[in-house]
Amino acid sequence: MLIVDPNYIENWSLKYPCSVFGHVISGGNKGEASKSDKYSSPPIIPEGVTPCDLYTDNPSYHLVGRGSVYNQLGDTLHNRPLPPEHVRVGVEIILDGNAPFPVPNEDAGLLVLDDALGAHVAWPIGLIDLKIKHFPQPKEHDKDTFPLKESVASGNEISVQKPVNLYGSSDKVPYLTFLHTYVKDSLTRQWDVPMPKEIFNEEYTELLSHSDIYEIINHEWLGSCTICVYVRLLYNLLLVPNMWVSRFCFINPTKIGPEYTQQSQYIGQTFIERNQPNTLFLAPYNTGDHWMLVVVNPTAEIVYYLDSLGVNIGQRLQLRRMFDNAIKIYRANKDTKVSKVKFSNIKWTMIKCPIQDNGSDCRYYVLRYMKEILLCSEEGVIPHEYFSTYRLGKYSTELIDEVKQEWCRYVLENIITNE
């Protein structure tokens, strides 16, 4: 738990007479806190990552953005102690970009809220509203009729790997069951999933539908939207808190499928605009009936290929041509001189990753590949034999269910119940 200094508890209501912590604001103008709402003591910050709304009191109390409070790594920010009465916040969504930053810092270029998108900053504890969720237990008849299909990834694994829960918890809360309970009657609903530019190099909104959610619940084929929501989760839980936004970027699967044109131009332009030395670009790719993962280091002109069916890249000619051409577009933009011998000698490495033993789990393997690459890769390199921690013959049911649980928890806490 984050410890609140007892010296200022007594004066809390005087310091923050309009504190909006822990409840929905009512009264006043739209987006403005009611000045009759008071808390007599400062809030207790839960351990871990907690979604929150961000407010300012300049010139008046109003909602300016959304993000997450990080109470995982102690009370430091960039290896420096946090100011008194402040918490570490990751800024994810900006609603008022011109709002003055609560703690201006000219050296860091933090003057208005637009300057803080994607960054971790210190925020006054009295100007955030925690979004702590309390989920009801499913009714007994829901448990009896719950339409779950068990993961079919089972059998004799070569070695056993315990799950690494991105939420920093090993609890067995049935988020998948909770999600079913929440959305089972919302057949026509759609939920907005904001995608910051740092993820796919474009800012847009995914529309998550009831059928998308049940792809996960029923262990079915996953569409691009479901994959993109997991990428959003990885951005929130790994890239932003670890300041890895410049180390990793994603290629939007909806723009590189076989039914689309100009895939190479889109990929190459993303390389040009986002690449830094050793940046890895992760591209989930769908052939139409199979998901795989392509990871590119454009600077080194290396392409890593992860296919849970173990199909040789020589049999994926369209895929190889697409990414070779994208690297050549990037190379031409950088005016890199390459000999005729090397011109088409882009290095493709087939990674010895876990292989599925059925015809249905490829999409979940891609989710795990992405997570493990973010957790384990160093200096833009993926070992040919894969990462020693995950050097498995195939993924266990527990490891497949882990990413499903993460997906369901993220959707519950950040999308479904955050409206």
Distances (CA, A) of 210 to 187, 402, 418: 6, 21, 16
Question: CB atoms < 10 A from the CB of 379, how many?
Answer: 10
Q: Roughly how many angstroms between the first and final C-alpha of the chain, as a whole number?
A: 27
Q: Is the CB of residue 15 less than 8 Å from the CB of residue 39? A: no
Query: What was the pLDDT predicted at 116?
Result: 82
- How far is the C-alpha of 413 from the C-alpha of 419, rounded, in Å? 10
Cα R_g (the chain), whole angstroms: 23
Question: Strands 302-306, 347-350: parallel, antiparallel or unpaired by DSSP?
Answer: parallel
Question: CB atoms < 10 A from the CB of 203, how many?
Answer: 12
Query: Which residues of the chain fall short of a pLDDT of 50?
Result: 1-41, 134-160, 170, 339-341, 343
CA nearest neighbour of 399 among 134, 171, 157? 157
* Tens-digit pLDDT profile for residues 16-68: 444 433 333 333 343 444 433 434 445 667 777 788 888 988 888 888 888 88
Query: What was the pLDDT predicted at 121?
Result: 85
Query: What was the pLDDT predicted at 383?
Result: 94
Q: DSSP secondary-structure letter at 32?
A: B
Query: What was the pLDDT predicted at 187?
Result: 82
Query: What was the pLDDT predicted at 72?
Result: 62
Query: What was the pLDDT predicted at 73?
Result: 54
Provide the residue count of the chain. Answer: 419
Query: What was the pLDDT predicted at 65?
Result: 86
* Tens-digit pLDDT profile for residues 332-379: 998 765 544 454 679 999 999 999 998 889 999 999 999 999 999 988
What's the token pair of residue 77? 């920010």
Q: Is the CB of residue 308 less than 8 Å from the CB of residue 353? A: yes
